[in-house]
Structure 1
Amino acid sequence: MIVTSLLDTDLYKFSMMQVVLHHYPAAQVEYKFKCRNPGVDLVPYIDEIRAELAALCSLRFSPDELDYLRSWRFIKSDFVDFLGLFQLNAKYVEIHPATDRPGEIEIRLRGPWLHTILFEVPLLAIVNEVYFRNTQPGLDLSEGRRRLREKISLLRDTDGYQACRIADYGTRRRYSREWHEEVVTTLRDGLGQQLAGTSNVFLARKLGLTPLGTLAHEYLQAHQALGPRLRDSQIAALETWAKEYRGDLGIALSDVYGLSAFLRDFDMYFCKLFDGTRHDSGEPFAWGERVLAHYRANRVDPRSKVLVFSDGLDIPKVMRLYEHFNGRCQLAFGVGTNLTNDVGPEALQIVIKMIRCNGQPVAKLSDSPGKNMCEDSAYVAYLRQVFEIPAEPEAAMAG
């Protein structure tokens, strides 16, 4: 059994799920799986993935786990009470070979947002581990351990970086559950205060670390169908978040419509209200400069705000970003696949993205075209027009 606890997921799933319970309990959504690696055949492992899915759906939150969630200052008691009754249901998940793409699998999740939101992270972890234990049986992890020691040494022992802190964001694409725990334990013991925490709630609890996370793209995408009008959907999403958390969990995600559209909506009110912003696509140095300039233009001291970088980071890139922005703002770095799936074989680049909400298409139009994903080209064209986003090559939207 790969996933043994419903806490074995990322914190932002719980923070978003609480908003769904309190504000959008009737919302219906659809998610779609995609593997971005060419030539990866997952079809032989469908039965094994289904078996692991069934095991996942047998899990319930234990009283101790509920007490842990209840101890967080931003989690409300009625949400924990709901989780005490909660169980994932496999009826919302379809897994089968893709009919139009030989060698690829189709995974779709359809159902109430409140009852499907917790599937994404553990399901991706299951696909990863099933794939690697079949294609790399008995892999010697000594190379992964060597690489991990090098990363720790580089960050810990290089002069001038003692205040540079990283966090583990690697649950979805980890090599395996056991390896993930070994990695985070090694980081904790090797980096000390330079490890800010982990996005994985189970490991945060087990290893005495800080769980980290706020919101993901799906939250802002859903507001394309939930908000008052499409043009105001990003504003509505941020205002609803602020209403729920009253100043807590104040990191805004900047790339659902690209940075230019984000900054148009992220006015002086939001600049002062939110603690910072998160980068997840596009060129990070240019992104950071534009965000800092935006804060200054809105009479906010950038040194009081956090820039969170989380897009495909490795330790050398973290250090370059730290050197460039240190002293000009507060900094946070979430490192994912490079920590939890750097053991030798090529890591899978797999995602599960929301594509519909309440029967309406939703889309993410980020600053990295390869990350975009939508099945309705007419809707994408309309979305670009509404948010004044330049067109891009059609192939980039084929996800």
Structure 2
Amino acid sequence: MIISSLLDTDLYKFTMMQVVLHQYPAAEVEYRFRCRTPGINLVPLIPTIEQELAHLCSLRFTEDELAYLRGMRFIDSDFVDFLGLFQLNAKYVSITPSATDNGEIDLVIRGPWLHTILFEVPLLAIINELYFRHAFPDHDLAEGRARLHAKIALLRDTPGFDKVRVADYGTRRRFSGAWHEEALGIMRTGWGKQLAGTSNVLFAMRSGMTPIGSMAHEYLQAFQSLGPRLRDSQVAALEAWAREYRGDLGIALSDVYGLEAFLRDFDMYFCKLFDGARHDSGDPFAWGDRILAHYEKNRVDPRTKTLVFSDSLDIPKVMDLYRHFEGRCILSFGVGTNLTNDTGPEPINIVIKMTRCNGQPVAKLSDSPGKSMCDDLDYVAYLRRVFDLPAA
């Protein structure tokens, strides 16, 4: 089976889940799947996806895995105790062909946030791997190895880039789990200290690498329902995070409402409290320049803060960003699909996004066209008015 461990997911799923357990255990949510790549027929895969889902829901955390999580400085013992009892339940997931009869699937996850938050990443990895098995059954990974070695050499051997640190963010859209693990081994050998770590907790545990992650979009989106009022939802989410982690895991996600709204809420208190910010949509150069100027405006030395870039990166783009921001701040780069699914066949762009929390619609207002996802257009328009954002 494709997923053999509940640790085969991104670290930020656990960091967000701990907040949910401690602060919002009764929250009810809904997630929906979308394939952003046109013309992809996933309907024939539904029976196999359901088989993989059933296996996923049979898994439990092992004692070794729980001990590994317990050793992380920011994971609380009571959360690990909860995970020792945890098991995913397929009753929260429905998978059917789309009513449009165009090859798309309607995959909906609906239930308690605490018991559904771990579905997203393994389900995306399952769908992605099944698609490539079905579409390219005899694919030779020699091309993928050659491309990966070329990327490693480009960064490692170009003068002036020896201090660049790249992290693997490629779990959800990897070509396969086996290739993901092999690719990480190649990167570790070729890059050494230039490989900062991986978002994948299982592979971090197996290899002794650093697991990397903080928060995702769903966390801030949920506060549109959980917060005291809609306009204050972003502030409420950041404050809840600070209460949970007391200064640890201090990278704030900046693009749930777009950069303008983020900067209005990210005042001097948050500038000093959080270690930095993560970019995941829009022009990364313009974003970084504005973030650094914002730090200076709030009397914070930007050289002490970290900018994390993670939007559709490849190695040449990492190098361009490093050239632009070197010496102005601390830099971190998370590269996903380009490291774990560049083997020849064109990757597909699939996502699972939170669309409702406690029965109310939630949305992300992205700085990149096509990244927003909500099933209630009236709510999106209202959200834009509340945050004083122009119409899309």
Output the TM-score relative to the length of structure 1: 0.98
What amino acid sits opposite 1:314 in the alignment? D
Match of 1:346 in 2: 346
**Alpha-carbon distance, 1:369 to partner:** 2.1
Give the drift of 1:101.
4.3
Residue number in structure 2 paired with 1:171: 171
2:180 maps to 180
Q: After superposition, what is the alpha-carbon deviation per residue over 1:207-254, rounded to whole angstroms, capped at 9, x for unaligned?
A: 110000000000000000000000000000000000000000000000
Q: Secondary structure at the match of 1:371?
A: coil
Matches of 1:271 and 1:207, distance apart in 2: 34
CA distance in 2, matches of 1:215, 1:180: 22
2:210 alignment partner in structure 1? 210
Q: How many residues align?
A: 392
Distance across 2 between alignment mates of 1:89 and 1:188: 35
Residue-by-residue CA offset, 1:105-141 (whole Å, 9 max, x unaligned): 1100000000000000000000001111111112111
The one-letter code sitting in structure 2 at the alignment partner of 1:72 is M
| Structure 1 position 15 matched with structure 2 position 15 | yes
| Separation in 2, partners of 1:388, 1:280 | 21
In the other structure, the counterpart of 2:149 is 149
Unaligned runs of 5+ in 1: 393-399
The alignment partner of 2:127 has SS state of: helix
Does the alignment pair 1:269 with 2:272?
no
Cα displacement (A) at 1:102: 1.9
2:136 aligns to what?
136
Amino acid at match of 1:11: L
Q: Which amino acid aligns with 2:194?
A: Q
* Correspondences of 1:77-156 after superposition (within 5 Å): 77-156=77-156
Q: Deviations over 1:310-342 (max 9, x none)?
A: 000000000000010010000000000000000
Written as runs of structure 1 = structure 2, the 5 A alignment for 1:44-55 is 44-55=44-55
Identity %: 73
| Partner secondary structure for residue 19 of structure 1 | helix
| Distance in 1 (alpha carbons) for counterparts of 2:171 and 2:337 | 8
- Partners of 1:270 and 1:335 in 2: how far apart? 26
The residue correspondences of 1:347-386 to structure 2 (distance < 5 A) are: 347-386=347-386
1:348 is displaced (CA, Å) by: 1.0
Give the whole-Å Cα distance in 2 for the aligned partners of 1:388 and 1:342.
39
Q: CA deviation at 1:366?
A: 1.1
The aligned counterpart of 1:64 is: 64
Residue aligned with 2:31, SS = strand
| Matches of 2:143 and 2:198, distance apart in 1 | 23
Once residues 359 and 164 of structure 2 are traced to their aligned partners in structure 1, the CA distance between those partners, rounded to angstroms, is 44
Partner of 2:193: 193
Give SS of 1:296's match. Answer: helix
SS in 2 for 1:287: helix
TM-score, scaled to structure 2: 1.00
Letter in 2 for 1:352: I
Match of 1:333 in 2: 333
Q: Secondary structure at the match of 2:88?
A: coil
CA RMSD of aligned residues (A): 0.5
The DSSP-based 3-state class of the residue aligned with 2:370 is helix
